[in-house]
Chain A
């Protein structure tokens, strides 16, 4: 009996060793070889369309403004009491978690209003600054906003609410690369630590 179990133990031992070896190798891999925890990385980054909007300071904001740096983009609106402030606070935390990065590798963080009818520059400036003084908010003509939402796959739907309306919208955070191309989608619900880690794994800052 004893002689029959020996090969079994040996094989089990080899499998265990191989498994442990693989696990160790994975964790010893450079971060760039580790897959993101939650983000969906596009096989080919998708160049954003040209658009003509304005930022919270009333300055023109176009696709050109998104080149030269990474951006984390969230679509929301100021008449949203729950998910939008929650996400903006979360993104402020993500910014803190990435503060150790070189300035050129840190993301710009941007809110795109899906409710440009009510979200004027005057409304957006104090709103977005409340979450972080560096945050950007953009608004403008609805057709220009729609060019962006359509291209990025952001669903937007206006729903009556009382004597006003609310806006259903895709809650993902989008990662745009320095070529103003959509590189990844980070789906909701979000965790700031996971979001920051995924940023590092995709952007691979040196």
Chain B
């Protein structure tokens, strides 16, 4: 088959698109997860926070109701709120991502609270979690271990 210009352009486009997703995830194509990372657990601590960007390309709202992980004894959704200068962290039972919108899990905001690692890991490794949605959808996400967000 002759490689014509259009096929070549399409190949370039697909390659670039796959590169754009920095963390691998398997699941419905209408949920896009990027920038997934987890902070390396400081010695003496038994928990850490995971962060990611999740875009809901569906026409309906998505609700994350649970987080599963074999790499931690427990995984929950928490949110840090700073009110009147005071940082408060609370567990939230579910997190809604409206149709067409993107939700950012980030330091100082919503984050995954990952409790008691079941194995050792260090910066550069990946840990796996699964986001479970109210409609039964499951999305596996690999989080890259980093010392800090600036890396």
Contacts and interface: CB of A to CB of B under 8 A. Distances in A.
Contacts of A78: 42, 44-45
B18 interface: no
Nearest to A89: B148
Contact of A83 (B46, B80, B147): B80
Contacts of B88: 159, 168
Contacts, number: 88
A25 B90 CA distance: 48
Contact of B80 (A82, A89, A157, A187): A82
A86 B107 contact: yes
B82 A188 contact: yes
B107 A170 contact: no
Give the secondary structure class of B's interface.
strand
B107 to A, nearest CB: 4
Interface in B34-57: 39, 42-49
A85 B49 contact: yes
B86 A131 contact: no
A171 interface: yes
Interface of B: 39, 42-49, 78, 80, 82, 85-91, 107-108, 111, 113-114, 147-150
16 contacts: A79-B46, A79-B47, A81-B39, A81-B45, A81-B78, A81-B89, A81-B114, A82-B49, A82-B78, A82-B111, A85-B45, A122-B44, A131-B42, A170-B86, A171-B86, A189-B108
